[in-house]
Amino acid sequence: MTDRFMLSRRQLLKTTAAGAALGLTSAFPVSKAFAAAATVGFIYVGPKDDYGYNQAHAEGAATLKGIEGITVVEEENVPETVDVQKTMESMINLDGASLIFPTSFGYFDPHMLAMCAKFTNVQFRHCGGMWDKAKHPMNAGSYFGYIGMGQYLNGVVAGHTSKTKKLGFVAAKPIPQVLLNINSFLLGARSVDPTITCQVIFTGEWSLAVKEAEATNALVDQGIDVVTCHVDSPKVVVETAAGRGAFVCGYHANQSPLAPEKYLTGAEWNWAKVYKMFVDDLVAGTPLPNFTRGGLADGFVKMSPLGPAVGEPARKQFDATLAEMMKGGFAVIKGPLKSNKGAVVATEGQAFVETAIELESMDYLVDGVVGSTA
């Protein structure tokens, strides 16, 4: 009985919404102002104020709220299950969203693709997923940023700041993107002093507060004095490391409020730029790009302001390296370079610039990183 009532109510809502939309479009068939009015949906896998991955996306979404005619709808803590399909459906049917950003990796296949097939007039853009023209529909797409460059700059500052010449990295899982960040961090530091090493600890999960704290403590116990991380929420790592007196480099978002004295700098996403770009296209009525990538020069990635503990030589090299990256074509992985197992990953003269597709399938840690991918 109740079920039947619920269904009919939902049906009613749907019909009314559709009817209203139909009424609007037919009443103002060519009005530009109404063509520009659009609802954009954002879906996050965790809390949107986690000082990390989700916060970076939510900050980007927040900048859209000031644009006239744009309505932003958000939902957080959506698991990477069929739940996200329900969220997308309700954003489309009840809120009238015409562009949706499911921001977590696991949303792409099969959930987002299923919705793409069901709602062909709605655009979907996914963060990090590999959109392939041959395999995926045209109303789907993906965007991502080359944040490894930011970790290289983190490494430059860390290399200057470290007294023990030992750096630490708390990582979630050994996937290509994480490995690139670890390697970039070490190579940045080695551009300062080639004897520096970086100890990595994998926690095995994207978000495990107690294990991240234990990993940070274990690193500091080994005399490591600069720590960075790649986990969903760097809050615990930053607070634990600073509490033990180590310096920290941030990731995903700006964590300097958590440790103002110990925070050196950080590699942050600048999704505001990316989302503005998509929404501008939507408002102008031009087709949205399907495959979007960018780095520091494109404004997809930015650095936190340098902290008070950063010395003059570090500041100089940071600025010089950043200026070089802004010119484009900067290669973090360049020969001669070996993995920490002794295999050659780049021969003399070989260089992989940030756009190189080989970097997106990285499966090694470079010489100088203490750790293992399995």
- Scan for tokens 């979007």, then name that residue: 292
The pairs formed by 200-203 with CB atoms below 8 angstroms and a separation of 24 or more are 200/168, 200/169, 200/170, 200/171, 200/365, 200/369, 200/370, 200/371, 201/168, 201/169, 201/170, 201/171, 201/371, 202/171, 202/172, 202/173, 202/174, 202/371, 203/170, 203/171, 203/172, 203/231
Q: How far is the CB of 210 from other proteins (least distance, A)?
A: 6
Site for other proteins (CB under 8 A): which residue of 71, 90, 98, 207? 207
Nearer to other proteins, 16 or 77 (CB): 77
Q: Which is nearer to other proteins, 241 or 362 (CB)?
A: 241
DSSP 287: P
Q: Which of residues 75-94 bind other proteins (CB under 8 A)?
A: 77
Of 123 and 373, which has the nearer Cβ to other proteins?
Answer: 373
Rounded to whole angstroms, the Cα distance separating 31 from 159 reads: 58
Q: Does 218 bind other proteins (CB under 8 A)?
A: yes
Beta carbon of residue 185, minimum distance to other proteins (angstroms, whole number) = 16
What angle do the packed helices 271-284 and 53-62 form, to 10 degrees? 40
DSSP 304: P
Among 49, 83, 281, 298, binds other proteins (CB under 8 A): 49
Query: Could you say whether residue 46 binds other proteins (CB under 8 A)?
Result: yes
200 interacts with other proteins by CB under 8 A:
yes
Single out the residue of 153, 183, 144 nearest to residue 373, CA to CA.
183
Q: Which of 87, 103, 151, 203 binds other proteins (CB under 8 A)?
A: 203
For position 254 contacting other proteins by CB under 8 A, the verdict is no
Cβ proximity to other proteins: between 211 and 334 the closer is 211
- SS3 state of residue 236: helix
Q: Is 165 in the site for other proteins (CB under 8 A)?
A: no
Which is nearer to other proteins, 181 or 240 (by Cβ)?
A: 240
Tell me the CA end-to-end span of the chain in Å, nearest whole number: 54
Give the sign of the dihedral formed by CA 122, CA 48, CA 249, CA 345.
Answer: negative
Q: Does 211 bind other proteins (CB under 8 A)?
A: yes
User: Is 204 a binder of other proteins (CB under 8 A)?
Assistant: yes
Question: How far is residue 257's CA from residue 255's CA, in Å, rounded to a whole number?
Answer: 6
Only segment of 154-162, 205-213, 273-281, 302-310 that touches other proteins (CB under 8 A)? 205-213
Determine, following the binding rule CB under 8 A, whether residue 106 of this chain makes contact with other proteins. no
Residue count of the chain? 374
Q: Based on CB atoms, which residue is closest to other proteins, 213 or 283? A: 213
Q: How far is the CB of 266 from other proteins (least distance, A)?
A: 17
The answer to whether 120 and 153 are in contact (CB under 8 A) is: no
Q: Which is nearer to other proteins, 122 or 220 (CB)?
A: 220
The only residue of 17, 80, 106, 244 in contact with other proteins, by rule CB under 8 A: 244
Relative to beta strand 247-252, strand 263-269 is parallel
Q: Is 95 in the site for other proteins (CB under 8 A)?
A: no
Residues near other proteins (CB under 8 A): 46-47, 49-50, 77, 164, 199-205, 207-215, 217-223, 232-233, 235-236, 239-240, 243-245, 258, 370-372, 374
